[in-house]
Structure formats: C-alpha cells, structure tokens
Structure 1
Amino acid sequence: MMETAERDGVAVLTMRHGPVNALDLELLLAIPDALSAVAEARAVVLTGSGRSFSAGVDLKRIVAGGPRYVEEFLPALSHAMLTLFGHPRPVVAAVNGHALAGGCVLAAACDTRLMSDGTIGLSELAAGVPFPTVPLEIMRHAVGPALDTMVLGAGRLAPRPAAAIGLVHEVVGPGELLATALRRADGLCAVPPEVYAFSKRQLHRPARERIDAARPSEDPRVLEIWSSEQTHRALRDYLTSLR
C-alpha cells in the first residue's frame, strides 16, 4: 500500500493502492504510519504508482460504507494530510500523473511539487461534497488567491497551467521525475534540520491557526453533509456520469 525505499538517506514513499491510488480509509491510515517509519530520513519524496499520483477519495467506498464509514474516514483524511503537511523534514511531491481532489491536496501538503504528466485539480464540488477544514487550508497555503477558482470551478489543470498559479513548482519529463525530485530533496537538506523544521512551522502558522479556529464549527457540518442520504444519492449519480 505504501512502498518505502531509501536513496542516500532520502525516503521515497510510493503509493501502491489499486489502479489510481484512490484514498480510502486504509491508505489514509497507512500514510502517517509510513511517515513515522521514516522519521529519521533526511527528506521524503512522495509519489504514486501507475498512471496516477492519486485520483482522490474513493467515492465508491463512501457510498458503500455509509455514515459509519464516513465517521472514520473524514478524521483519517484530515489526520493524514495534516501529518504530511507538518512533517518536519523536507517533503517533495513527485506527481507522476493525475492528482485530483484529495490527491491534489496530498501534493499541496508537500513543500515542493514536481509534476510530469496528467492533470491536477479539485473536483469536490463537482461531486457534491464540501471540503473539511484541513484540506481547504492546506490548499489555501499552497495557492493563495487562486483557491477560489480552484474550488468553485472544480476544474483540472495540466502541469504548466498548474505551475503558473504556484500549485506546481517545476514541470519535468516523466523519465526525469524521480531523479529530479531526489535532487530537489537533497538540495533542501542543505539547511540544518532544526532550522528547516522551525522555519516550516513559522510558514505554516497562519494555516494552522485557521485550522484550529474553523474545525470546531465547520467540520461537524461537513460530516453531516458527507453522511447524508441526499449526498450519497448525488455521489451515485456522479459516479454513474463518469462511466
């Protein structure tokens, strides 16, 4: 599910979970565990297997599991993304293909984002579900004023347009992606680890403060909407439209 390799002290974490690395409860629980297991690595590169980095939330599991599954899933989603966002060492996303919805947020939670192929974007509203606080604020940290268009437009961007709004830092060829990501990670390691971690916390403080302020009031409503029968009917219709 999460494959770990080591390259000169840099941990390479590869999501290997089905054909498109869809985010279900099991994968979301595995991400923090994988990060904890490589806590002493100089840096982390996160990538996906196959044709996708991650196609986002496994909506079929949401519909099949119902409210009980959603009650476990949404906290796990926020925890996984916040753990990645707050990892103290350098984290580089090597986006090897489509990074959609929650997959886009996973990439945005990384310090540096390289992309070679596919599309990236937020499709939650198109599917009929709102954002939990943590993913929304991670995206706000990553793209700033471009967030409104990304959320309300629910569109997909190719690598170069994504780079134009700061969502992607560099576009590279597929055959160069991992090597470039490793070089980027190594370069970030030139900063002493404690200084890097401290600076990262400083940069993240506004996002963390917004998360702490909004979660108590907004996330219960998000859970209510994601758990409702009306939402699940809309998700079934959305999934049917994709066939």
Structure 2
Amino acid sequence: MTIHLAVDDSVAVLTLEHGRGNTLDTATCRELVLKLEEAADGAKAAVLTGSGDMFSAGVDLLSIDAGGAAYVREFLPALSDALLAVFGFPHPLVAAVNGHAIAGGMVLAAGCDHRVAAAGPGRVGVTELLVGVPFPLAATEILRCAYGTNPLAALMYSGATLTIDDALARGLVDEVAAPEEVLGRARELAARLGELPAEAFAHTKAQLRQPYHERIAENRASDDVHVDRMWRSAESLANVKSYVDRVLKR
C-alpha cells in the first residue's frame, strides 16, 4: 500500500507514502484513483498530503530508469488518470503541502481546491524540462487552471523551484502554516467546505474546470502519442538516467 486513507468526521485524509520522495509510479497512480473513489463515497471532503516531511517529488524516475520504454508506455496513461482523478474529485479537496512539491507533486497540489504549505525548507516547482521530458496534457491543463498561462510558462521553461515564501507570493500556494499545523489547518478548511451543499459545490467546481476538462478530452489522445514518443526516446531515457545518477543516486 502506497496511499493511506483515513476518514474522520466526514473528512478523508489521503497520505502518499512511496519511497523517500512519495513519488508516483504506476501502482501508486492506480491506487490513488481507487482511493479517491473510496473517499468520494465515504466523506464530504478530503485532504491530500504526503508522509514525513515531503509532499511529493513527482514521477518515480528510478522506475522509469529501471523499466525503460516498456514501463513508460504503461506508466504515462496511469499518471494522467491519477492527476485527473485529483482534478475531477467532486467534493472539496485541500492539499496539505507538508514539504517539497516538485514536478508531478506540484501538479497534485495544483489539482486541489486549496493549498496549505508548511513553513520551512520546502520547495515548489516543475522541473520536467530539466530532466528532458514534457508534461502530459492533463498535467499542463491542471497547472494552467490553477495558475494561468503566463506565470506558468516562465516557471516551466526555467525549471526553477521556489521557496515556500516565494511560492506564496506568486500564488502557487494559498497560505502557509507551521509544519505541525499544516494537516490540521487543511482538515479544518476541508471540513468547512464540506458543509456546503454537496451537489451545488460539485456543479460549481465542474463549471470552473469545464474548459480544461474539455481541452484534455478533445486533445489527450493525440497529445499522448507525442508525449509517449518523447518519453520513450533513447535521448529522453538517457536524460532520465543521467538525472537519476547525478541527483537521486548520489
């Protein structure tokens, strides 16, 4: 099990726990979809967080490096499905960003309705281009919905990771709390939003996100072909291996 689900007072808390970075591999992505469905059935609202002092470092590049092109073909659709399950969650969903939220981890937070970040050394950013691969369309549209195109372009092109204070100033997180208070604050907000009429909330949330869902639905198939090709190319896999060797295995 890589995702723990606990429901208390109609608020579900989903905690990522996979490797040292709470990373996303194929199994974790599939489990996240199932856990979100379970949470939607059993709670009025939910909180998404990470174990320890890390929210999520995004894609499990160690699995990409080990599995190569065959693994990528299986993984990428599972990743998009997981991100869309977060983005399409019908009830209030609050991110308790308890540490680094990098790459796919930042997309998970962006897919939520509100983001509470822990004060301290955590960093927030999207680093895919530094690794040499593009985001799937679902990830880009989720980020666009949360932050807009213009701020997002500079962030993605640079691959910069921002301090929590900078992330707050640029609207990448909505508020900052002491590390020991982040989960409690996120649960408080989720509970408050969960008291709103459920059908009206779900409809309003769907209205706000409809243009992004429509773009994903209309273009995902063709985009997936191009993204899959780039991720599975010899050059990209070599870039991933280089990054893993330089950064993750040191």
Whether the TM-score (by the shorter chain) exceeds 0.5 is yes
2:224 alignment counterpart:
219
CA contact (8 A) 1:142 1:166 kept: no
Deviation at 1:18, TM superposition (A): 1.6
The CA RMSD over aligned residues, in Å, is 1.1
- Are residues 1:154 and 2:155 paired? no
**1:3 lines up with 2:4 in the alignment:** yes
- What aligned pairs does 1:128-139 form with structure 2 within 5 A after superposition? 128-139=132-143
| Maintained 8 Å contact 1:20/1:50 | no
CA displacement, residues 169-222 of structure 1 (integer Å, 9 cap, x when unaligned): 111110111110011111212320000000000000111122123323322111
Match of 2:168, as an amino acid? A
Question: Number of paired residues?
Answer: 243
Q: In structure 2, the residue corresponding to 1:157 is in which secondary structure?
A: strand
Q: Secondary structure at the match of 1:39?
A: helix
Q: Which runs of structure 1 show a deviation greater than 6 angstroms over 4 or more consecutive aligned residues?
A: none
Whichever residue aligns with residue 34 of structure 1, its letter is: K
Contact persistence 2:65–2:244 (CA under 8 A): no
Which residue matches 2:46?
Answer: 44
Which residue in the other structure is 1:206 paired with? 211
Distance 1:97 1:60 in 2: 20
Q: Which residue of 2 aligns with 1:167?
A: 172
Shift, 1:152, TM fit: 0.3
TM-score by length of 2: 0.94
Q: Deviations over 1:34-65 (max 9, x none)?
A: 01112230100010001211111111211211
**For 2:221 and 2:39, how far apart are their aligned partners in 1?**
31
Aligned equivalent of 2:17: 16
Q: TM-score, normalised on structure 1?
A: 0.97
Are 2:134 and 1:124 equivalent residues in the alignment? Answer: no
Q: Which structure 1 residue ranges, 5 or more long, are not aligned? A: none
Confirm or deny: 8 A CA contact 1:48 1:95 kept in the other structure. yes
1:59 to 61, 86, 98: 61
Please give the alpha-carbon distance, in whole angstroms, between the structure 2 residues aligned to 1:165 and 1:203. Answer: 21
Structure 1 vs Structure 2: percent identity of aligned residues? Answer: 47
Secondary structure of 1:62's match?
Answer: helix
AA aligned to 1:231 is: S
Residue 241 of structure 1 and its aligned partner are, at CA, apart by: 2.3
CA distance in 1, matches of 2:6, 2:213: 30
Q: What 5-or-longer segments of structure 2 have no aligned partner? A: none
Residues 66-101 of structure 1 show CA distances to partners (whole Å, capped at 9, x for unaligned) of: 111111100000000001100100000001011100
Match of 2:196 in 1: 191
